[in-house]
Amino acid sequence: MNNRWDYFLSEVTNHIRSKEAKKYVASELEYHLNEVKKEWVGKGLSEREAEEKAVSQMGSPSKLGHELNKLHKPRIDWWLIGLLAITMALSFLPLITLGDELSDGYLVMKAIHVLLGVMIAAAMMFIDYRKLENKGWVYYSIGVLFLFLLLTIPNAIINGVPYFMIGPFQMESHYALPFLFLGWASFFNNPKIKLWQRFLLFALPLLLLMAVPNLAVSFIYMVMIFIMMWWSTFSRKTATLITITSIMGVAAFSTFAWFTVKEYQLARILGFLNPEKYPDSWGYMYLQLKERLSSAGWFGSAVKTEALPFEHTDYAFVNLTYHYGYSFGIGLFVILSLFAARIVMISTQINTRFGNLLLVGGVTLFLVQFIYNVGMMIGLLPLTSMSLPFISYGFIPMLFNAFIMGVVLSVYRRKDIKINRAA
């Protein structure tokens, strides 16, 4: 390879600011130069003459470098970052509405949660998501190991959710989801993994989650897997067959469970279906939430009432709607919906299956929380421990959703950086 060839490659890449993009551009250019060189050698030129011709055909290295720098410049999705900033600012409101009923320590902790969430999102944005693709087994194993530890280490239970402590940190089953999410994005992009192997890989975390137990996380995990499956290497026929079989299995299990349900479990179901019949027990909270929403008005209720449990966590949507009105509730719904809309828009610009799997999995994890939380607040779904993304108070939900958005920002940042063909 002659000096002009080396100089050309060096001059082009010197104009590219992104260190991450330089190696991809250099490899892509070298690939094209070699292809052109082969053509000229086939026409009878010597190796050296063919190299000279190939370099000449590429044009000005300075001009090409500037053009490639614009093309491969890492992108920042300011729309998504703007939505993050708005929702994180709004996340203080559930605490503010409670006033003196909560200590100032909650606001301080919330500020720490927001700061750590910003750091997580920023860190994930600058990590090249493509480097995660070949480490699926590692992330999956970490998620499964975490659930196993949750079952074996002596733990406590808060609001029905088991956890164990590592220093000052409260560890519960939500922490396994990001690792399982990354693991499955890799598995679904790997056609070498057989169907029966995927079934076992799916079943193991689900059985552990059911044994913990945490039904909310189990539900999120199952929905994530089935949605990602449709964007995987599976054929549409296989995905349809699995979906139909699974729906039939869930229906059969639900029928069996209905006839074996315990008395208190039946009461909870009936309390959801007909809360007026159980106003002092299982229907009480449904009636309280319904009353809060009905008395909110368009600009909030002026009546000061006693705070309900979980008003700053799971019931934050009703809390904010009650204090600031339907107009605020609708606005909050629209803002959170824009997260999903933006991720879907980004997915149309991504040409790699792994990147699309991360986006599909990420938007599914976000939407399941969002839709279920709002659904149970308006009485369409049974009450359970499900946070409203970014708005509900809590360390785990904040980091979890910040991680999802960081992954989305990472994919968007590299949407114009192409992987070289030689790789």
Give the angle subtended at the CA of 408 by the CAs of 403 and 412, to the nearest 5°: 145
Q: How far apart are CA 59 and CA 370, in angstroms?
A: 52
**Higher per-residue pLDDT: 199 or 17:** 199
pLDDT digits (tens, 9 = 90+) for 31-86: 777 777 788 777 777 777 777 777 777 777 777 777 777 766 778 899 999 999 99
Pairwise CA distance, residues 220 & 126, whole Å: 27
**DSSP one-letter string for 358-420:** HHHHHHHHHHHHHHHHHHHHTTSS---S-PPTTTS--HHHHHHHHHHHHHHHHHHHTTT-PPP
pLDDT score of 255? 78
Of the candidates 325, 38, 286, the one whose C-alpha atom is nearest the C-alpha of residue 317 is 325
Assign 421 a pLDDT band (cuts: 50, 70, 90). Answer: very low
**Residue 192 DSSP class:** T
How far is 216 from 173, CA to CA, in rounded Å? 10
Structure tokens at 67: 């053009």
Question: Closest Cα to residue 409, out of 360, 359, 375?
Answer: 359
Q: Using one digit for the tens of pLDDT, what is the confidence trace for 132-186?
A: 988 999 999 999 998 888 888 756 555 555 666 666 566 678 888 999 999 999 9
Report the SS3 class of residue 95: helix
Neighbours of 422 (CB within 10 A): 9
Residue-wise pLDDT tens digits, 281-305: 788 888 888 888 888 888 877 667 7
345-362: pLDDT as tens digits? 999 988 889 999 999 999
Identity of the amino acid at 129: Y
Phi, psi of 396 (to 5 degrees): -65, -50
| Structure confidence at residue 171 (pLDDT) | 67
Of all residues in the chain, the percent with pLDDT exceeding 90 is: 34
pTM: predicted TM-score of the whole model, two decimal places: 0.83
Which of helix, strand or coil describes residue 323?
Answer: helix
Tokens of 361: 């999995």
